[in-house]
Amino acid sequence: MSPPKALEDLREISTEIQHLDSILSLLHWDQETYMPLGGISPRSHQISTLSALIHEKKTSKKFKKALEALISLKTGKLKIKGLSPKEKAMIREWLKNYTRLRKLPSSFIKTFTAVTSEATQVWSLAKKNNQFQLFQPFLTKIIELNQKKAEILGYQDHPYDALLEHYEPCMNTRKLDAIFGRLKKQLSALLDKILSKKELDSRFLFKKVPHEKQLQLGLLLLQKLPMEHTYTRLDLSSHPFSIAMHPHDSRITTRILPHHFMSNLFSILHEAGHSYYEMGLLSDNFGTPLGEPVSLSIHESQSRWWETLIGRSLPFWQWFYPILKKECPSLLKSIPLERFYRSFNKVTPSLIRVEADEVSYCLHVILRYEIEKELMTHKLSVQDLPKRWNEKFLECFGLTPPNDSLGCLQDIHWSLGDFGYFPTYALGNLFAAQFFTSFVKDHPDWGERVARGDLAFIRDWLASKIHRWGRMYNSEELVKKITGKPLSETAYCNYLKGKYKEIYNF
């Protein structure tokens, strides 16, 4: 097969696979938004069948034949010259995908997706009714499948590494233990320092705001963001998420909590950050690795960027607070901006990860990382999970969850089989803060511009520095390209110390 024909075949197969992946994403979106509860059984079969088909196409003889005409499947050495950097990157990433996926049999993929599809619905019911025992057999099966997956894929030091690689290819437990060890120490010290100060009064933030009003506020916020609104939509789900079918179709969900209206707004900013990334991928690269995000850590850096670095900043609310105040006069008319800003940035231990303040958020993630490692190595049994969760939570935050719904059942991830995913939330914060240092150098007047409601320049900076490249660079290469330094916890810790020193006057 000639190199041009091989490259053409790879793009054709890969684009077809991407269309199938988009359909799969649409099924997942529907399952979490509009699908009737009784549809779970046929939907799980639909998802498992489609997942197996996608896996077969990604590991097909046709794909292999085209790929090995361009690159050695054993050594990774290119067989032809004259390729552009873009073509080299595509072939390199195709090989990575193929090498990993060919190890997993289609039968395993089908079983895994069938189990997790049903487990998601069972988890939702277990969480609602505070019945861990309902979810326990499904979680046991999911952990067994992940342990099997790790053995199939192979690993050097720790079975968790095989799972982590899927979400953040440049990371392993050895690196994470070092970074998280330093991060945990600094965050715990900062948290203790803040908690020794006088508690901020934020009670006004937890007054009831009607469901329809909150939805109206969320839509208003989304409409104010510089986004191509014909490419997105906002819906409701039990757990906020975003999902993309194409750069021109990226969907956002939020959830409405009657007594926590700011949760809705921050969820929308968070998910909008994910959508910005998906929309910023070049549509010409759709169906190739260059039309895909670098990693989940980088993806999370974009959501945390918009939710925290921008969305929890004073300049953002200098712009948006007057708009919000006009919409909620009875709630906010007597609350000055400074008090409002300090109140939603209040630091206090929380039972729920997604409601955690910036200082304690990564501690929630590290707790989950430590528990996942214990589950993967049989150090912790599933039946002892609630007890272990509560022990570690008390140790870290000085709180004991009153029930499992507010404890080990709070996140959807384990029902999805996503072991190895949680660390990307903390890594996303680290990447975001490090990227932000370079952004501030390029735009030292960013605060003044944001306070005027100018956000488009932020979107454009991220698109040019991160989004447009797809998987041209891995996360290690990308952070070094943008900041000149390898990833560390330094920028994030400096950001938190600087911000909360001003808020708490220490």
Q: Is residue 125 part of a domain?
A: yes
Tens of pLDDT along 334-371? Answer: 999 999 999 999 999 999 998 899 999 999 999 999 99
Q: Is residue 148 part of a domain?
A: no
- The side-by-side arrangement of strands in the sheet containing 249-254 is 232-236, 249-254, 242-246
Q: What is the pLDDT of residue 305?
A: 98
Q: Does some domain include residue 470?
A: yes
Buried b (16+ CB within 10 A) or exposed e, 229-268: eebbebebbebbbbbbbbbebbbbbbbbbeebbbbbbbbb
Percentage, residues of the chain above pLDDT 90: 96
Residue whose C-alpha is closest to residue 308's, from 348, 349, 344: 344
Same domain, 365 and 462: yes
Give dist(CA 205, CA 382) in Å, integer.
37
* pLDDT number for residue 106: 86
Yes or no: say if 424 and 168 are a contact pair by the CB < 8 Å rule: yes
pLDDT at residue number 238: 84
CA atoms within 13 A on the CB side of 53: 14
Identify whether 145 is part of a domain: no
Could you tell me which of 104, 121, 122, 103 has the C-alpha nearest to residue 112?
104
Residue 255 lies in a domain: yes
Full 3-state SS string of 44-92: HHHHHHHHHHHHHHHCCHHHHHHHHCCECCCCCCECCCCCCHHHHHHHH
Q: Are residues 124 and 260 in the same domain?
A: no
Residue 304 and residue 453 share a domain: yes
Residues 195, 317 within the same domain = yes
Per-residue pLDDT for 377 more than 80?
yes
Indicate if 70 and 187 belong to the same structural domain. Answer: no
DSSP 3-state assignment of 330? helix
Q: Decide if 147 is inside a domain.
A: no
* 152 has pLDDT over 90: yes
Q: Are residues 195 and 120 in the same domain?
A: no
Which domain CATH number covers 272? 1.10.1370.30
Confidence of residue 247 (pLDDT cuts 50, 70, 90): very high
127 shares its domain with 215: no
Check residue 74 and give its pLDDT: 94
pLDDT, average across residues 67-94: 96
Confidence class of residue 2 from pLDDT cuts 50, 70 and 90?
confident
Asked if the structure places residue 150 within a domain, the reply is: no
Same domain, 247 and 364: yes
pLDDT tens, 274-311?
Answer: 999 999 999 999 999 999 999 999 999 999 999 999 99
Q: Are residues 219 and 111 in the same domain?
A: no
Same domain, 98 and 190: no
Which of these three, 131, 162, 189, is where a domain ends?
A: 131
Q: Is the pLDDT of residue 499 over 90?
A: yes
Whether residues 213 and 77 share a domain: the answer is no
Q: How many domains does the chain have?
A: 2
Residue 313: CA count within 13 A, CB half-sphere: 23
Residue with tokens 């993630």: 365
Q: Which of 131, 155, 184 is the last residue of a domain?
A: 131
* Residues with catalytic roles: 271
Q: Kindly report the pTM of this predicted structure.
A: 0.95
Identify any residues that bridge with 117 across adjacent strands, giving them in sequence order: none
Answer yes or no: do 101 and 186 share one domain: no
What is the span of the domain harbouring residue 37?
3-131
- Residue 467 forms part of a structural domain: yes
pLDDT bucket at 1, cuts 50 / 70 / 90: confident
Q: What is the pLDDT of residue 427?
A: 99
Cα angle at 454 between 448 and 460, to 5 degrees?
115
The pLDDT of residue 393: 98
Question: Of the candidates 98, 131, 164, which is a domain's last residue?
Answer: 131
| Digit-coded pLDDT (tens) for 390-442 | 999 999 999 999 999 999 999 999 999 999 999 999 999 999 999 999 999 99
